[in-house]
Structure 1
């Protein structure tokens, strides 16, 4: 299956090592990493390693981030989707919703569109009971998106010295 998820404007598909240049373009931008610990990548090898890690997550857990492809141009614009997370909140094992876009695609609704589709995929195809997300408390755009798609803020926590908001949403079909 080439595309796991399709929306009105996007395809979400598995990442490939051939996406490394696009990943590097996105993740080497300091503005993209402002709310991600301010640690942009500095080499294409780092981007390849990130993709290999994501592919391993797919093998280990049956889920991982997906390439976000713009239908109209077939262009890689970022990634989105679910991930089985065990690092950010070490006391929990959970399915995390996330998204990241190249700067030129910010503010066009792609993160929201892909996040809604990812939630639907998680609840209908993967039969998950709960999906979580987090965002630095001062990342106004990401917090707005998570609330807009129906996630409920359920407290805060500190990660890498930053105050983060914790979100959750339950499968309403259960």
Structure 2
């Protein structure tokens, strides 16, 4: 079982107990406003997403981690890696992403989880390069991307929703653990 411990977090594979808290996160319009068309997701859509995330683990050897607070055991959201197949212009890239419940914002959890995920990608999984795809105007995500040391690489338009995206990247030679 793949797990990463940081000073405050446990990044781990998904289990049945994660469905309800992740569905609550996905049902929050504040959380979802920068994701796809901004629509919230229900319990069934969340279950389907978790199933897909677990399949990516099995197929790729990486995926999205469930993120749990070590102090309380609360499920706070996710951070991890995925192949951004919806954006063929960047392939064969691997993208880092995160999503946390709004009650966990502003406490450094997303940055901590993203840094651990990036280290996992470059040092454990042997990836030479990782990208991040963010929607223009998502300042909170842009801040985390800067903290990771990622550099702006290009801008493009989301192929389905038509809004502008910013692509950032970092390679193994630029990463500082």
Give SS of 2:29's match.
Answer: coil
Give the aligned partner of residue 164 of structure 1.
165
- Partner of residue 108, structure 2: 109
Which segments of structure 1 move beyond 4 Å, counting only runs of 4 or more? none
Tell me the number of residue pairs that the alignment of Structure 1 and Structure 2 aligns.
Answer: 171
Q: 1:90 aligns with which of 64, 88, 91?
A: 88
Name stretches of at least 5 consecutive residues in structure 2 with no aligned partner: none
Hey, what does 2:39 align to over in structure 1? 39
Q: Give the SS at the match of 2:34.
A: coil
TM-score (norm 1): 0.94
Q: How far apart are 1:84 and its partner, in Å?
A: 2.4
Deviation at 1:173, TM superposition (A): 8.1
Deviations 1:14-68 (A, max 9, x none): 0123311011100011111111121111x31111111100111111111110001
Contact 1:26–1:102, Cα closer than 8 Å, also in 2: yes
Deviations 1:62-119 (A, max 9, x none): 11100010000011000001112212x1232211100000010011101111111111
| 1:127 has 2:122 as partner | no
2: distance between equivalents of 1:102 and 1:173?
A: 30
CA distance in structure 2 between the aligned counterparts of 1:6 and 1:94, rounded to whole angstroms: 25
| Partners of 1:17 and 1:52 within 8 A in 2 | no
Q: Which has the higher strand share?
A: 1
Asked if the contact 1:156–1:166 (Cα under 8 Å) also holds between the matched residues in 2, the reply is yes
Q: Which segment is superposed worse, 16-25 or 132-141?
A: 16-25
Deviation at 1:4, TM superposition (A): 1.5
Unaligned runs of 5+ in 1: none
What is the root-mean-square deviation of aligned Cα atoms in Å? 1.4
| Contact 1:77–1:101 (Cα < 8 Å) also in 2 | yes
